[in-house]
Structure 1
Amino acid sequence: MARDDYCGPDGLESREVDTPSPGAGEVLVRVRAAGVDQGAWHALTGLPYLGRLYFGVRRPRAKVVGMDVAGVVESVGAGVTTLRPGDEVFGICDAAFAEHAVGKAKTLLHKPANVTFEQAAAVAVSACTALTALRGVIAGQRVLVIGAGGGVGSFAVQLATAFGAAVTGVCSTSKVEFVRSLGAVATIDYTKEPLTGEYDMVLDIAGHRPIPALRALLTPRGTLVAIGTEDGGRWAAGVDRNLAMKTRNPFTRQTLRAPLSIVRPAELEELSALLADGKLTPAVDRTFALGDLPAAITYLRDGRVKGKVVVIPQT
């Protein structure tokens, strides 16, 4: 699925493109499944505009979007010794919404045997984001996850639980049972009740609540983590809140963090071990055929997804 200019989901077209070739340190993967996250929508639309400094100022540098991937190695570039043709892998690639994609060998790992391709394709971006956000959580702490029913949130609830924390998940009515099934000891239905309690960490995912309101939920030395936001307009969504947190952090006993979402090899290794041990299970809400990618992105943006959405190339 490709486009030439920034567009909405309906602007994507099915078209034939040349199969990419792996360069030094790269791997060519036959895509078996590709995860859909909010980043795909931002790359597709070029919103907020600040993101175009990375995606391309006037026109997108990449005609095909997508990062999360799971598939089978078809060929490897020079210098690659960790993977070989036939290996089942997961991680990130460039232009994952296609039948073939190229990625760096260091951000592609062997897929655990107990995880399906669809599950593995849901992991890299969202789970690495959750893992980065939860750094510092220890057993016995109380963690509030706002946005617990989404892609990042579903991983955050499981990871914090695996670390020994007691998790309260904030979600809508339709996702309460789902969030409990992930390991949350309590839930708050934000459509019916206010946020209450005192927590060692508050993780606000794609939220827009004021910083003082979130800090009021923390212990005196608690940690507030804000990641991703759809608030802030078409120019620089979330930048104002993130800057405000960084500015205030040196002047409070509480810790205010707004980490960037970056997929690192060490984090993928940690997640792979948790997957293999059964301590982390990707929650896949629905799968779509690759040709139905516009519908998959629209479904995600409507906020109905419980966990992750995945697209599958037709073979």
Structure 2
Amino acid sequence: MTATSRSGTGTRRRVTTMRAAMAERFGGPEVVVVRDVPVPEPAADEVLVRVRASTVSIADHRMRAADLPRGLGFLRVVALGAFRPRKPILGMEAAGEVVAVGRDAAGFAPGDRVMVMRGSRMGCHAQFVTARAEGAVVRIPDAMSFEDAAALAFGGYTAISFLHQVALGPGVDVLVNGGSGAVGSSAIQLAAHAGARVTAVTSGRNADLVRSLGADRVIDYEREDFAAGDETWDVVVECVGNAPFTRVERVLKPGGTLLLVIADGPAMLREKGQSRRSGRRVTHEGTLFGKPVVERLVELAAAGAVRPVIDRTFELDDIVAAHRYVDTGRKRGAVVLRLP
């Protein structure tokens, strides 16, 4: 099975190669290059998707730079690769059109507009990618642009997976540390949609943004330490990496939950003991995965309950500049990558 493309004369031609951004060794943004590589062949239970948009995220930074959180260096060879990235074509998610369907891949047809979450399988910074029909791939509404779908996917997927394990609703106080990032901006919207009172921790320049997403209160971390005051929360969503349980215990209500979207090795090792001792739940893991998450995300987006936050958009040929910008740690929402 081979992808096809319509030529200027209106006839279809076989497409056997594609352009892809590849990290051929570990290092800075400059190690990412655009190459011509073979179009992947979908298995019997897969669809082949023509990628129109993806994002460059913190996950791509970690894979490219071999930059794992403190205490997790021992996972480098297994998770990333020994001498070069195990998955050289980065990109966790994509939005595009189905161009081919495997014989056992039910529910899709060529031309379907879809959102794909490949996660650690990567491969979405390329013109074509495969996805299991029963996996995390769903159709998107005609009114949703490919750029918006891609921008929603990474942060929205992670936020839903984590927030699924807490009861949100009126009277529940939620703090999102890192409210302007891809995951944080989605978490604010999901919590606010459920009726919770949301406090967002971000820089002053992002205050208006997080308020527009549904934050009831904004704490400027450059002026105020949210963990030093008297206010307490039922749920703390930690999206930065600077708020372990030892810092937030005093502001987490009895029976509350700390969701460590970003956590280092010591925090992961201590969370079970901290949970038993304190009577509060501490976890670095989500609880909902795969197609149900993407279906829920598309449903919420179609209803207007969650919208993408796009900081900047780059073309594939500008992939190095996109990585450089993500490496600054100052992006708001998603950095979108458009595929030609």
Query: What TM bracket, shorter-length normalisation?
Result: over 0.9
Partners of 1:67 and 1:77 lie apart in 2 by 22
Give the 5 Å matches for 1:118-129: 118-129=147-158
Partners of 1:208 and 1:67 lie apart in 2 by 24
Match 1:69 to one of 70, 90, 94: 94
Aligned counterpart, 2:85: 60
Aligned counterpart, 1:108: 137
Aligned counterpart, 2:126: 98
Return the offset for 1:2. Answer: 1.4
The answer to whether 1:27 aligns with 2:27 is no
Partners of 1:123 and 1:264 lie apart in 2 by 15
CA contact (8 A) 2:200 2:210 kept: yes
The answer to whether 1:138 aligns with 2:168 is yes
SS in 1 for 2:312: strand
Distance 1:82 1:88, change over 3 A: same
SS in 2 for 1:216: helix
Partners of 2:315 and 2:251 lie apart in 1 by 42
Match 1:223 to one of 254, 257, 275: 257
Aligned counterpart, 1:181: 212
Q: Deviations over 1:200-238 (max 9, x none)?
A: 111111322342221111112211111124xxxxxxxx1
Q: Please, what TM-score do these two structures have when normalized by structure 1?
A: 0.92
Q: Please, what TM-score do these two structures have when normalized by structure 2?
A: 0.86
Instruction: Name the % identity.
Output: 34
Give the 5 Å matches for 1:236-251: 238-251=264-277
SS in 2 for 1:179: helix
SS in 2 for 1:103: strand
Q: State the aligned residue count.
A: 306
Return the offset for 1:32. Answer: 0.6
CA contact (8 A) 1:148 1:157 kept: yes
Return the offset for 1:58. Answer: 3.2
Partners of 1:175 and 1:82 lie apart in 2 by 41
Partners of 1:61 and 1:216 lie apart in 2 by 41
RMSD of aligned C-alpha atoms? 1.7
Distance 1:145 1:240, change over 3 A: same
SS in 2 for 1:79: coil
CA contact (8 A) 1:127 1:271 kept: yes
| Mean CA deviation greater in 197-206 or 294-303 | 294-303
Partners of 1:9 and 1:176 lie apart in 2 by 29
SS in 2 for 1:115: coil
Aligned counterpart, 2:112: 87
Distance 1:62 1:224, change over 3 A: closer
Unpaired runs of 5+ residues, structure 2, are 1-20
Partners of 1:109 and 1:158 lie apart in 2 by 21
Partners of 1:96 and 1:289 lie apart in 2 by 14
SS in 2 for 1:14: strand
Distance 1:72 1:210, change over 3 A: closer
Match 2:290 to one of 236, 242, 264: 264
SS in 2 for 1:299: helix
Partners of 2:131 and 2:287 lie apart in 1 by 18
Partners of 1:193 and 1:86 lie apart in 2 by 51
Match 1:159 to one of 186, 190, 197: 190
CA contact (8 A) 1:91 1:123 kept: no
Distance 1:262 1:8, change over 3 A: farther
Match 2:311 to one of 285, 290, 299: 285
Partners of 1:300 and 1:111 lie apart in 2 by 26
SS in 2 for 1:224: strand
Q: Deviations over 1:155-202 (max 9, x none)?
A: 000000111101000001111111111010110000011213111111
